[in-house]
Amino acid sequence: MTPDQMTQAGREPAEQMVPDAAAPGRPGRGGVDRTTRQAALWATAIALPLTVLVAVLAFGQLSAPDPAAGPTTPPTPTRPQSTAAMQMAAPPLADRPATVCRALVSRLPATIRDLHQRPVVAGSEQNAAYGDPALTVECGIPAPSIAPTDTMWLVNQVCWQAVQGAAGMVLTTVDREVPVRLSVPQGHEQTVQWAAPVSESVVASVPSAKDIPSGCGS
């Protein structure tokens, strides 16, 4: 064997001892090298947050109000109401009715439905007015006459006689020691439901009468 052949033979075992996986930038025999796997992991870690961000932005655009649809319908504004003093009659009352009427007026609500209470020119101890045109409450009036054909309404434990006329509806209590009249002029809904909040004040301040008409029920 020549010296060149001996040198070549001595090299071959050394070259065979170098594993394929040790060569940089080359895949090993078992699959993808470590550098390639790390790159794939970084790509996945970056792609997932981007996907979530795109989904959030898309949801926000879907849920955002459409400018072309225009604003929602605003609530109907309350009609301006007069605050001027209302002219009402104030006949003199005996001591007992005057005391009862003062108690009633002090318990009347500040508003009836959407009508605000307004001042009266005279008889603030026995009268009250609401809204415009004015719905009025009068205490200590003469007891009404009751005809067999008259309609009676029991509203919140108070019996009211209802009379419809050209000027509007007049409701008068017929089961109380001191009569109370509620006048609902044209321009307002002609319904006995206006008497509901007034009835609560009547029950709290005006005693029941001894004789109650049979049409009032129980």
Q: What is the mean pLDDT of residues 87-116?
A: 96
**Is there a domain that residue 76 lies in?**
no
**Is there a domain that residue 120 lies in?**
yes
**Is there a domain that residue 158 lies in?**
yes
**Is there a domain that residue 90 lies in?**
no
- Could you give the percent of the chain with pLDDT greater than 90? 55
* pLDDT (tens digit per residue) in 71-80: 454 444 456 6
Q: What is the mean pLDDT of residues 116-142?
A: 96
Question: For residue 155, is pLDDT > 50?
Answer: yes
Strand pairing class (111-112; 168-173):
unpaired
Side chain identity at 206, as an amino acid letter?
A: V
State the pLDDT at residue 13. Answer: 47
The structural domain count of the chain equals 1
State the pLDDT at residue 61. Answer: 53
List the domain range (segments joined by +) for residue 104.
95-209
d(CA 211, CA 13): 132
- The torsion angle over the Cα atoms of residues 163, 91, 185 and 104, rounded to 10 degrees, is -90
**Is there a domain that residue 69 lies in?**
no
DSSP for 104-165 reads HHHHS-SEETTEEEE-BSS-TTTEEEETTTTEEEEESPPPPP--TT-EEEEETTEEEEEEEE
State the pLDDT at residue 7. Answer: 46
Q: What is the mean pLDDT of residues 170-192?
A: 97
**Is there a domain that residue 146 lies in?**
yes
State the pLDDT at residue 150. Answer: 87
* pLDDT (tens digit per residue) in 23-38: 444 544 445 566 666 6
Report the mean per-residue pLDDT for the chain.
78
**pLDDT category of residue 213 using cuts at 50, 70 and 90:** confident
Question: For residue 206, is pLDDT > 80?
Answer: yes
Mean pLDDT check: name the lowest of 91-95, 120-124, 146-150, 184-188. 146-150
Question: For residue 197, is pLDDT > 90?
Answer: yes
**pLDDT category of residue 199 using cuts at 50, 70 and 90:** very high
Structure tokens at 182: 């509620």
**Is there a domain that residue 12 lies in?**
no
Q: Is the model more confident about 66 or about 40?
A: 40
* pLDDT (tens digit per residue) in 54-101: 554 554 554 444 444 444 544 444 566 788 999 999 999 999 999 999
**Is there a domain that residue 214 lies in?**
no
